[in-house]
Amino acid sequence: MIDLSFIIPVYNVEQYLAKCLDSILVDNAFTGQVICVNDGSTDGSAAILEQYAKKYPNVEVITQPNAGLSAARNAGIKAATGEYICFLDSDDFWEPNVLNGLMAQIELDKLDVLRFKFQNVNVQYEVFNPYKCDRRLENDYSEVPTDGVSFLNARMNTQCYASMFIIKRSLLDGCLFTEGIYFEDTDWMPRLLCKAKRVASTNTVVYNYLMREGSITNAVNRCKQRKLLDDKMRLVETLQKQSKELQEHEKDNRWFARMIADTVISIITIIAVQFYEERILYMKQLNELGVYPIQSKTIKAKLINISPCFVIMLLHLKNRNK
């Protein structure tokens, strides 16, 4: 079997950690490298990691002060020795008996990157779909290998989850996660894929993503909304630079146009709901980034292209009347 390293960032997940680790070590009988990065946990996570490291010789624990998900993943990348790596968030878990099939596909097709399917589960571990009927989230899970840029444009939606891929470690040279930001996956994943020569998918459901209160994705209180908004603005600029680089090499950049459009629509919604009093400042920043016209066919995008200020006012009034 191809040599694989799992990288598992850990922060205050004592309730979920054993299920996460068992899904790899027990349910998939994995004997390769498992790197657990304890990112300054203050609960019982460290003790659980110690128990697993004693029981399983292939479990390695790195302990560091709390620095965030990106820093923890980067620490794991630097410690990884496998030819391929895979990220697993410590409150999520894998389906049983899926690993051998994934690695066989990678070996047979000589892949740089393999994407697999995921499903959302609640805290009772019941499968559910919070995004019903949203065609923007459809993916093409073709098993036929293609290059990374073509994969982005033709087969990938705007959900960028690093944990849904097995990746050749050599691609990560000079391609670490940006630390200290939200949306680190959306910043990182296109950079990585644009370097890949052979990318494919599998229809196999592998990953269970736990949607719970207190997770990074759900942490949207007023204090964090400020940074969330500022990081979305930064993400737009980053995506624009990557898109321009593809244009300069006469490569398709449709995925970046879609991602920028979705991000700008989200920014405008946040401004209207949370920071209406600062709308002029943020609208000026968007104008300076040259985001208009938004490349999207949605009704909201069409209205924004006519008058973003008017849309912000409408969204603000709608939110006030709730």
Q: Which residues of the chain have pLDDT under 70?
A: 1, 131-137, 213-220, 322
Domain positions in the chain are 4-210, 222-320
In terms of phi and psi (left: phi > 0; alpha: psi -120 to 50; beta: otherwise), the region of 17 is: alpha
Which CATH number is 4-210 given? 3.90.550.10
Quick one: pLDDT at residue 322? 67
- The model's pTM is 0.92
DSSP alpha helices (H): ranges in 136-253? 148-155, 184-193, 222-248
Taking a C-beta distance cutoff of 8 angstroms, is the pair 111, 170 a contact? Answer: no
Question: For residue 297, which of 270, 263, 258, 256 has the smallest C-alpha distance?
Answer: 258
Both tokens assigned to 201: 């998918």
pLDDT tens figures, 151-164 = 999 999 888 899 99
Give me the phi and psi of 166, to 5 degrees please. -105, 130
pLDDT tens figures, 262-313 = 999 999 999 999 999 999 999 999 999 999 999 888 899 999 999 999 999 9
CA distance 153 to 259: 11
Quick one: pLDDT at residue 212? 76
